[in-house]
Structure formats: C-alpha cells, structure tokens
Structure 1
Amino acid sequence: MTSFRLPGLVGLVSLLCSVVTAQSNSTSSHAALPQVDLGYEVHQAISFNQTGQTYNFSNIRFAQPPIGNLRFAAPVPPTGRDPVVQNGSVGRVCPQAFPDWYTLALELEAAILTGNLSSYNYTANNEALQAYLAATPHTDQTDGRVTEDCLFLDVLVPKAVFDKRSSHGQQSGGAPVVVWIYGGGYVIGSKGSNGNPSGLVKASQANGEDGIIYVALNYRLGALGWLAGPTFQGSGGTANAGLYDQRLAIEWVAKYISLFGGDPKKITLLGESAGGGSIVHQITAFGGDRGVSFQRAITQSAGYDPVGTAFAAENFTTNYFSLLNVSTLAEARQKSTAEVILANTIQVENSFPYGSFTYGPMVDGLIIPELPGRLLSEGRFAKNISVMDGHNSFESASFTPPYLVTEADFRYWLREVYSGITDDALNYLLNTLYPAKYDGSQSYTTPLGRAFLMVQEMVFVCNTYYLNKAFNGTSYAYDFVVPPGFHAIDVPYTFYNGGGTNLTAGLIAPVALELQGYLVNFAMHGNPNGPSLPYFPPYGTNASMQVIDWNSTTQAPHDANNPRCAWWQKGLFA
C-alpha cells in the first residue's frame, strides 16, 4: 500500500482557485520586473502582486532535463550559461496519473458525509466503475504543461524582503524560507496544485515582520520518479529518484535563496501527505550520515509505504518494463516520452489492491537504508533540526477497502499489502492489536470501523509517533479535527487566502488563520506560539498534542502513543 495524497474534490477546487487567484492583482510588465542572476541563467520575475506586494519568480530550472541517460537517474544541476533571460512563462508539470479505485473512495467519502454509509453498496459501485473503465480507453496526458523536463521550482518573495537582499551575505541574514513539497500519493501533483501561497506570506507578516519567502518544487512522480529494486539498481538506475529531485531542489534553495533576500540558514520544509512522507524520508536520508540543507520541518499527514520490500520494488519495475515493452533499463531510456508516460498511466490507474498507488519510497540500501520508523528508533536521522507534525482526525476514509467484512477478508487484504508477513505477525495484528470485537470494548463497533483504524494508524498517525518519540519531547504535534477530518481537508486551511466563515462554506476562517499562524511562527522562530494564538505546548514527556477544532483549541494525549504504533514501528510485518 503506497502512501497517500490525492487532491480529491477539495484539492481540485484548491487547484482551480490557485490558478485564478495567482493571476489576479498582478502586473505582467516584464520591463519593470526584477531579475536574479543564478550563474547558469538570468531569471526574471513573471509578475508582481500589487495587493500582497510580492514578486513571483516562476518555473526556475533547478536540474538538467531528466531525459535520455538521465531518465530514471539522479538529477544533475544545470551547467553552462543560458544566453536568454528566462521569465518562467512556460508551465511545468511532471507526468502523472491516479488509480481507478479512487472514484470509489470519493463515493465512500460522500456516503459518510451524507450519513448514508449503511446504504453504500461497494459491489454495485465497483461493477459500474469496471463497466465504465472497460469501455473507456487509457488516454494521454491532457494538461499541456506535462513534460518529462519538469524539474523546476517557484519563488514568491515579498518586495520588502527582495529590496533588502543586497546587504545579505551567502551564509546568514535575510528572511526565513518555507519550501513546500506537495502530496499526491507520489503519483500526482505539482508545485502549484495546492493553492495560492499569498495567504501564508501574509500570515508571516502579521506581527510587522517582512515575512517569509515561499518556494515550491516539482519532483518526478510514478515510475519516472520511484522505480526501485535490486535489478534496476544493479543496471544503473537510481531508486527513489524523486527523493533526489527534492534533495537537489532543497540544496538549490540553500545555495541561491540569498539572491532573493532569503536566509539559507532558516529553511523550513513543509509538506502534506506524500509531501510530509517525503520530508520524513529527507530527515532519515542515508541514515542521517550526509547531513541536510534545512533547519526545520513541518509534516502534515505524513504518508508513505509501510513495507518497501525489495520483492515489491522488483515486481513494480518488472511490470512497468513489461508495459513499456522493454526488458532492460537501457531500452527503457530509449523509449519516447509518450511511451513512458502511457505505460506509467496504465500501471498507476490499475493500482492494486484498493488503497495502493503502486509507487512511493522503497528501501534501497542507500538513501532509504531502512524503513523510516526503524531509522528513527535507531537514532539514524538528522538530529540538528526542529520538527512540527500534524495529522487529521479521519485520514483513512479515502484509502480503506470498504469490502472488508469477514476475518478471511482481512487476512487476504493484509497478505496483499504485506506479502512477507508471517502467520504469527498476522495473528497478532488481528487477534491482539485490532481484534474482531464489535461489542463496544474497542474504539470501533463494525468491521469497516476496524479497517479505518488500521489504515489510519499504519499509514498516517503512527508516522507522527515515530517522529515525536525520536525528537524526545522537543517537537510540536497537532491533531486537525475540523469536520469531517478527511485526509487533505487541512490543505485549503494551510493555503487560506481570504473568504469563508463557516463549515457550510467549506472553511472556517478563524481556524485557517490559527493554523497559518502556528505554521509560519514555527518556520520563522522554531516555535508555533505567537500573539493572539492559543498556547501550543511542546510534545513533551506527557506526549500531548494540540487539538485544532472548528470552535476550540485544546490539548490532549497524542492518539498515536499506543501499543499498536509501537508495534508498527518495529517493522515486524515485513
């Protein structure tokens, strides 16, 4: 089961809003816009937002095109000197696709929202979906921005910050920087798909400060970014290339952000779902042996594959090569862009089992030497950073198979997810950790509720437990419980940019401002607390978390501090 974050209905609305909002209140008079000399190119801001007083430097190249021999390889920094001034007018989105089963997940969410869960008919819905898919051929990418040459990033900088840049040295001074890593199950998403960052920048200026610089990066998705396996690596492929893409972009920020007025010693990573999971992997990259180029990290609903076995990675790669009609990496690198994209689309759309996205971080012995939970428990991670993490109250609604009813169903599903699980581990999971007791003695009273809890913990919530435990009480943790608490519901709150006052409107403005306040305060000062905000305590010895609700903010024991998460962290299921 590969980790999560598809935009769903909330994310798609956010995407549309970001496109519209980012274009408003701006000027596109290029002659009046500033330029930054990066050495390998001169890049000019594409717009200036009069309302927010921010420059938008869009689609800045941070790597050479990952094509030819660089396809399925680690990214390489740009070289040479482009004689043409770039303004980022050409959009860039990495090739992507999402699973067919996600349609059923949206229907399940709708049934929960409308109170019709008891009448939800998975079998009938699935049959209708399969009939539709059988009559509908796979299609090519329809977004004209989609290209293999997609390793670009955006920089949004307040004018007040940019105007002070000349006095800042390379190593210190300047504004704090927030680097956004998007989610999407490692198969979908882009640097601009989650919303307009102007609200975050505005929140960072609430106390009279100049504010943050916001950076958003692209990384390769699906097969193009996450192929792995011993054979693939042995033939010269780079497993988990998407993590290297992110790492190179973060290093780019550390190297060049002072040219925009930023401080390379005040970089905070912020990411949701697959983005949050990616950040956990950046914290544990190479077992902590190579250092990192960031100082703080905020993970939201961090999700990633809790298995990551070589057997699974080998199967995914073999299947992809079969769809591409090749048998070797060298042959795959000779295929056309259209062919590699179509093979990825077919494979991801047919992801199986339900809840799987096929791709995501896999243990490779290098950048991911072990599962992150084990690396964190062994002290093999970057320790010289500050961490804040959060999760939502009902993450699992989108990713839980609704057909799990009998013990045979659960056993079959878990063996699909964990192909190497032993009988002892399976029995312990089903009989001790998540027993089939629906008499009120557990936190669930139905098989579906039991399945919801399993997915909630093993894919999302326990990941926060691993982080908070590793950072030994110095981190900050929160639970976002605004109804309905679904996965990704907090993304519009993170990118709030005005409007919305109640639940029926889809967003609570005071809650959004509170969440943004915590996020930017932590990014700027390493502490989420600030004026006019409810006190946010450190995780501490009592394992307390901030509970953010639509009408109140309180503290409560961390829901991941339990024997189930302690068991998942040991990796005994692999």
Structure 2
Amino acid sequence: MKGVTLAALTVGLLPIAGAGTAPAAEAEVQAGRLNVTIPSGTIIGSTDGEVESFKGIPYADPPIGDLRFRPPVRLSTHLGEFYATEEAAACHEGPVFGPFADTNDTIATLAEIDVANAVFKDIAGDKPTKYDEDCLTITVQRPEGIEAGANLPVLFWIYGGGFVGGSTTGFDGTELVKTGVQLNQPFIFVAVNYRVGGWGFMPGEEILREGSGNAGLRDQRMGLEWVADNIAEFGGDPGRVTIWGESAGAISVFDQLVLFDGNATYNDRELFHGAIMNSGTALPTDPLDGPKGQAIYDAVVKKAGCESEHEDSLSCLRKLDNDNFTAAANSVPGIFSYPSLALSYLPRPDGTVLTDSPDALARQGKFHKVPVIMGTQEDEGTPFSFFQNDMGTDDKIVTYLSKYYFGNATSDQVSEFVGTYSDKISDGSPFRSNLPYELYPGKRRIAAILGDMVFNLMRRITLQILSEELPEISSWSYFSSYNYNFGLNPMGTMHGSDIAVLFENSNDEHPTISGRTYYINFLYTGDPNIGSNVEVLWPQWTEDHQLLWFNKTENGLKNDTYRESSYDFMFENIDSLRF
C-alpha cells in the first residue's frame, strides 16, 4: 500500500486537568496506544486491530450559557493529553414525535410508533447513550498503521436525523474504512457532531437580528476547518476532502455548497473537493424571520415563560437550564407527526450564511463548483405518511399542504400540483406495489407527494438547475430499489434504508459492495467509474438524464423521467413551494 507506514507507539505525559478522562482500561490503552499530536493537544486513540479510532475530539468551545444558539467559537483551550477512546456525547435531540393529528386529540398506535422509531434509527443512527450541550466534537477513523505523511483522501460525514437528531456515535465508519483497504484505496473517515433542533436551528427575527442563524451549519463548516488544520497529522490530505451526508445531512451538504454564496475557502484553500448527497438536495425555504420560522420561535418563548417585557426573550432562553430549555424547544411539532416533513427546525435564509433559498442560490451560480453525486430511494415518502389519518380527497390534501407546507402558493396552484398525482391506490408509494390496501384513505398518494416534493423530484430539479446554470460541474445521480420484493413490501425502498446498506452490511451483499465501490472511486478520482472495477458504467446525468439503478442483485440504468407532470409543475412553481 503506497504511502502507508506503521504508526509509532509513543508514550506521552499524564493527562492534565480539562483533558479527556482516562478510561477504565487505561493500562490496555497504554500497552499499544495511538498518539497524534495537533496544535490543541495530544489525541490518544484506540484500535480494533484493523481500524484506529479517535472519538469526540473537541473543535469548538462549549456552546452553553451565552453561547447557546450563537455561531461556534473555535476551541480556545489546550486539551493537553486527550483520551479519544470512548463514545462521544451527542448533541441534544429536538422534537421527534407528535402531534399525531391536526389537533392533539389523536394518539398514534404503538405499532406506528415502533415503525417511526425504526425509521428514525435508520436516518439518525444508533441512539447514543449520552447527551451533552457541550457536544461540538470530531471523530476520526483510519486504517491501522497510517500516520502523518500518508496523504489519504478524506470522507467527511454529516449525519441526518431531520435536523432534530443524529450523532457521530450513530455512524461507525469501520466497515467503510475496511472496504477502502480491501479495494487498495485506503482513506480517512471523519464525522462531525453539530447542533440540531432548537440549539442549532432556532429561527425567528430575534435570532436573525443577532446574527446567530443556522448555527448547526456553521458547526459543520467549523468542523471542515478543523480538518483543514489537523487532518494531515492523522495521515489525511486536506486537499482531497469529499463531504457526504444522508437526509438532513444531504440537505446540509447542499447547503455547504451554497454557504456564504458558494465560498468554501479557508486560508485561501478549498475546504472540500467533492460532494455526495443521499436523499436530500436543495430544499426551498422561507426566510429565518418569515411567518413559519417566527411561529416556531414564538411558541418556544411562550412555553418557556420568556414573554416578560423586562428581559429580551433570547437572554431568557439562554438562562434556562438545559432540561427546561429542552421542554420548551421540543414542544413544537416533530418529524414523525401530522405535519411530518414540514419541519420545525431546518436551515433557513438568514442573509449571511444562506443569503437566499438554497435553490435560488444555485440558480444564481453561487455554488462551490465541485463534482457531485446525488440520489434517492424509490419510496422516500412511506415513513412520513403514518400520521395524516385521512387524505382520501383532493380537497383534504390541498388543505393539508396549504396549511403546513406551501403558504406562498395559491389554492389553485396547490390543487394543480395535487392533480398531477393519481388517486389510484396502485399508483401510490410504495410504487409498483401489488398490495391492494393502504393504512388509511389516500396514504399511498400522500406518501408519493411528500417523497417527491422533498426528495425524489427535488433531486431532479436540483440537477436541472445545475445543468442549466453550472454546466461545467460533473454530476451523477442514482435511484435505489434494493428493498423491492415483488411489490409485497409495504414500505418499499424507504427513506433511510441506504444507511444499513452502506454503513453496516457485509460486502457479500451486492448493493453494499457496489455502492461502496462507486463512492470510494469518487472519493479518490472525482469519478465513480474510475478506480476499482464497477459493474455498470455510470453516465453523468447531463449526458442523457439517466440514473444508476441500484437493485438487490444487479445494477442497471433508468431514465430519469418518472412522474414527469409533477416534476414540470414543481420546476415551474418552485418559488411558491418553499417550506
């Protein structure tokens, strides 16, 4: 393996006050310890014999007290000798469940909650065992024996979780790193903890006026800057970084491409050189201080009892202990609820970080010009359509979408959009299904609509915008159907099903080794076809609008023309369809 040397096993100083606490198995760590020295301290990692891990390395000061909601502050203290050998604390979760009806009268069934919990695990990863408001940390994983000078490419992971959950702990890169070694394309895996929910994406005029919008996106950006400053000491090449995310992480990846009007430089160098988006691209959004965002802020302030005329509400929210703030911040609708994908917390234009809606920034050419991969699952919307209860008529769907999603659209526009979707059960999602029933009237139709307007067709709109405004950008797109089971799977290939395929499953499974190979090739060369051998040549999307079609036992190509009338409407009316 060219450029790879054995790591030196050195003995360092005893940990100093304020550094990571030495684990109980300190003697074992001392026997074969891994030291990496960076400007902020000596980082002590662990190994399983194949992959070395450095968990929970702080990259910013604790975002607590007066720093709650604010942009991250670069780490200002020296870590000394820091034990990065145990699970990193996750950032606190935002609202996940409820309300389950247009009023709070309806209670979801235990079966529905169980399904939603399983889906949330798919998109947000394994549930952490510890949470802390002081959570801005980085985790680094690399093949055993790598040291400074190896100059390996870096895969920078941004987790999903509906902007209300997720953590670096939930996504272990071990199998990915091992696959890179097997393909003779070793790389460094990096994951970043960023604030979610009310801690990272609080909206409202007050937040806007203070300049604290989109703190979670700024956390991600500071994590990338940490990589630029430090990854060489771990054996990585800061000049070959690819960012990758799924769901909210993929939307975050797109936002990083348009952040600061497309400026992704730091110390006169590009922070990343490729981008991969699984189930998430440009999400059209209203401003931070628009009616939707302000309603969330006002609801949190009211629940917190911070409406006093004698103190500004932001100061009041900052003074709350974390338990009381959590109760207030999580009193608004969750991702698994009647409003569903009309998320309470998400990135919104703030005039500084995001100067406009992300889709609009791409249309203006304010975009970091790097190769991109973006794709979706066939049945993105099935897990987000459990709690709408009755969508059996056009009028009910129009009323629902108008109230929770498209406040800027006219009733006629929403009616026209809904009319592009068939009301036949067999035409809804899960698509191509032979099942003759649905959980409630209109469930499969609303599942198709929700999946398209956030994921499936928004992906195609994003690609079309890039092809028109930034034709020099190389782009590839995919469509996953590996959970299709002769039309008998009631969830289909749903949102989040790619996480297990790419992170957890064995390379003996076709979708796993296939997907990992394309991605690692892209990481190395900027082209998913160049590097390790691939089964099907993946054409760029601009060539003939073809998708790489991932199936259970083989890949193929698919024309990107499904639900064309719905796509045409969305593309032509996108400015009225903002979340």
Which bracket does the TM-score occupy, shorter chain normalised? 0.7 to 0.9
Equivalent AA in structure 2 for residue 201 of structure 1: V
Q: What is the distance in 2 between the residues matched to 1:131 and 1:561?
A: 30
Aligned to 1:186: 163
Equivalences for 1:464-543 in 2 at 5 Å?
Answer: 464-469=459-464, 470-471=466-467, 472=471, 474-483=474-483, 484-498=492-506, 509-529=509-529, 530-543=532-545
Contact 1:75 1:244 in 2 (8 A): yes
Contact 2:475 2:541 in 1 (8 A): yes
Aligned to 2:79: 82
Alignment pair present for 1:398 and 2:378? no
Alignment pair present for 1:318 and 2:298? yes
Aligned to 2:576: 572
Distance 1:450 1:68, change over 3 A: same
Q: Deviations over 1:488-538 (max 9, x none)?
A: 111011113538x6xxxxxxx122111111111111111112315322222
Aligned to 1:154: 139
Aligned to 1:429: 417
Q: Structure 1 residue runs of 4+, over 6 Å off?
A: 127-132, 437-446
1:412 shift after superposition: 1.4
What's the TM-score, normalizing by structure 2?
Answer: 0.79
Which of residues 208, 225, 237 is equivalent to 2:184?
Answer: 208
Contact 1:274 1:304 in 2 (8 A): no
Which of residues 200, 209, 224 is equivalent to 1:250?
Answer: 224
Aligned length, in residue pairs: 499
Distance 1:455 1:303, change over 3 A: farther
Q: What is the distance in 2 between the residues matched to 1:179 and 1:486?
A: 24
Q: What is the distance in 2 between the residues matched to 1:102 and 1:183?
A: 21
Q: Secondary structure at the match of 2:165?
A: coil
Q: Deviations over 1:31-79 (max 9, x none)?
A: 522222221222111x1121x2x21111100111001121100001112
Q: What is the distance in 2 between the residues matched to 1:438 and 1:77?
A: 53
Contact 1:27 1:49 in 2 (8 A): no
Q: Secondary structure at the match of 1:247?
A: helix
Which of residues 551, 554, 566 is equivalent to 1:552?
Answer: 554
Alignment pair present for 1:100 and 2:104? no
1:437 shift after superposition: 7.4
Aligned to 2:154: 177
Contact 2:43 2:81 in 1 (8 A): no
Distance 1:30 1:562, change over 3 A: farther
Aligned to 1:330: 315
Contact 2:391 2:446 in 1 (8 A): yes
Q: Secondary structure at the match of 2:541?
A: coil
Q: What is the distance in 2 between the residues matched to 1:260 and 1:461?
A: 37
Equivalent AA in structure 2 for residue 316 of structure 1: I
Distance 1:44 1:453, change over 3 A: same
Contact 1:305 1:360 in 2 (8 A): no
Q: Deviations over 1:339-386 (max 9, x none)?
A: 212223333559652444411111222222222222222222111x11
Q: Secondary structure at the match of 2:96?
A: coil
Equivalent AA in structure 2 for residue 319 of structure 1: A
Contact 1:220 1:242 in 2 (8 A): yes
Q: What is the distance in 1 between the residues matched to 2:111 and 2:505?
A: 36
1:179 shift after superposition: 0.8
Alignment pair present for 1:415 and 2:412? no
* RMSD of aligned alpha carbons: 3.2
Return 259-268 or 400-409, whichever deviates more. Answer: 400-409
1:215 shift after superposition: 0.5
Contact 1:179 1:267 in 2 (8 A): yes
Return 510-519 or 394-403, whichever deviates more. Answer: 394-403
Q: Secondary structure at the match of 1:214?
A: strand
Aligned to 1:218: 193
Aligned to 2:360: 374
Contact 2:95 2:331 in 1 (8 A): no
Distance 1:512 1:289, change over 3 A: closer
Q: What is the distance in 2 between the residues matched to 1:413 and 1:405?
A: 12
Contact 2:518 2:534 in 1 (8 A): no
Q: What is the distance in 2 between the residues matched to 1:41 and 1:254?
A: 16
Equivalent AA in structure 2 for residue 297 of structure 1: A
Q: Secondary structure at the match of 2:82?
A: coil
Q: What is the distance in 2 between the residues matched to 1:290 and 1:158?
A: 28
1:448 shift after superposition: 3.3
Q: Secondary structure at the match of 2:576?
A: coil
Aligned to 1:137: none
1:202 shift after superposition: 1.9
Distance 1:351 1:256, change over 3 A: same
Distance 1:103 1:181, change over 3 A: farther
Q: How many percent identity over aligned positions? A: 24
Q: Deviations over 1:58-115 (max 9, x none)?
A: 11001110011211000011123233433353631110044324999xxxxxxxxxxx
Which of residues 347, 351, 369 is equivalent to 1:365?
Answer: 351
Contact 2:476 2:539 in 1 (8 A): yes
Aligned to 2:120: none
Contact 2:379 2:495 in 1 (8 A): yes
Distance 1:85 1:192, change over 3 A: closer
Q: Secondary structure at the match of 2:557?
A: strand
Aligned to 1:35: 35
Q: What is the distance in 2 between the residues matched to 1:439 and 1:250?
A: 45
Equivalent AA in structure 2 for residue 429 of structure 1: F
**More relative contact order in 1 or in 2 (CA 8 Å, sep 6+)?**
1
Contact 1:154 1:216 in 2 (8 A): yes
1:206 shift after superposition: 2.9
Which of residues 445, 454, 462 is equivalent to 2:457?
Answer: 462
Alignment pair present for 1:227 and 2:227? no
Which of residues 190, 212, 225 is equivalent to 1:238?
Answer: 212
Contact 2:333 2:344 in 1 (8 A): yes
What's the TM-score, normalizing by structure 1?
Answer: 0.79
1:213 shift after superposition: 0.2
Equivalent AA in structure 2 for residue 521 of structure 1: N
Distance 1:402 1:396, change over 3 A: farther
Q: What is the distance in 2 between the residues matched to 1:255 and 1:560?
A: 44
Return 458-467 or 286-295, whichever deviates more. Answer: 286-295
1:279 shift after superposition: 0.4
Alignment pair present for 1:49 and 2:48? yes
Contact 1:102 1:398 in 2 (8 A): no
Q: Secondary structure at the match of 1:157?
A: strand
